[in-house]
Chains A and B, each alone.
Chain A
Amino acid sequence: MTVLTFTLAVCAISALAGFLGALTGLGGGVVVVPALTLALGVDIKYAIGASLVSVIATSSGAAAAYVREGYSNVRIGMFLEIATTIGAIVGAHLAAHTSTHLIAIIFGLALLQSAYQSVFSSMSEHPVTAHCDKWGKRLRLGGDYPVDGKRQSYGVCNVPAGLGMMFGAGALSGLLGIGSGAVKVIAMDRTMKIPFKVSSTTSNFMIGVTAAASAAVYLSRGYVDPRVAMPVMLGVLGGAFLGTKVLVRAPVRVLRFTFAVIILLLAVEMIVSGFTGKV
Chain B
Amino acid sequence: MDDRRLEITMGNLLRAGVLLAASVVLLGGCIYLALHHSDKVSFHTFTTEDAYLRSMPGIVRSAAHFDTRGLIQFGLLLLIATPVARVVFAVIGFSLERDRMYVVVSCIVLAVLVFSLLHAT
Interface residues of chain A, those whose CB is within 8 Å of chain B, are 1-4, 6-7, 40-43, 45-46, 53, 56-57, 59-61, 63-68, 70, 72, 74-75, 78-79, 81-82, 85-86, 89, 139-140, 143, 208-209, 211-217, 219-222, 224-231, 233-234, 237
Contacts and interface: CB of A to CB of B under 8 A. Distances in A.
Chain B CB within 10 Å, residue with most, of A60, A68, A70: A60
Interface in B84-121: 84, 86-87, 90, 101-102, 105-106, 108-109, 112-113, 116-117, 119-121
Contact of B82 (A75, A79, A139, A208): A208
B121 A220 contact: yes
Nearest to B112: A85
Nearest to A73: B3
A45 B46 CA distance: 7
A237 B54 CA distance: 24
Interface residues of B, number: 64
A42 to B, nearest CB: 4
Contact of B43 (A46, A65, A233): A46
Contacts of B120: 216-217, 219-220
Contact of B105 (A40, A41, A65, A82): A82
A24 to B, nearest CB: 21
B11 A224 contact: no
A63 B10 CA distance: 8
Contacts, number: 193
Nearest to A72: B7
28 contacts: A2-B38, A3-B36, A7-B33, A40-B43, A43-B43, A60-B14, A60-B17, A60-B18, A64-B15, A67-B11, A78-B105, A79-B102, A82-B109, A85-B112, A89-B116, A209-B83, A212-B80, A213-B116, A217-B120, A219-B76, A226-B69, A227-B32, A227-B41, A228-B43, A230-B29, A233-B22, A233-B76, A234-B25
Task: Report, nearest first, the 6 A-B pairs whose CB atoms are least far apart.
Answer: A64-B11, A226-B72, A208-B83, A67-B11, A216-B120, A220-B120
Interface SS, A side:
helix
A54 B17 CA distance: 14
B8 interface: yes
A46 B79 CA distance: 18
Contact of B38 (A3, A79, A213): A3
A57 B79 contact: yes
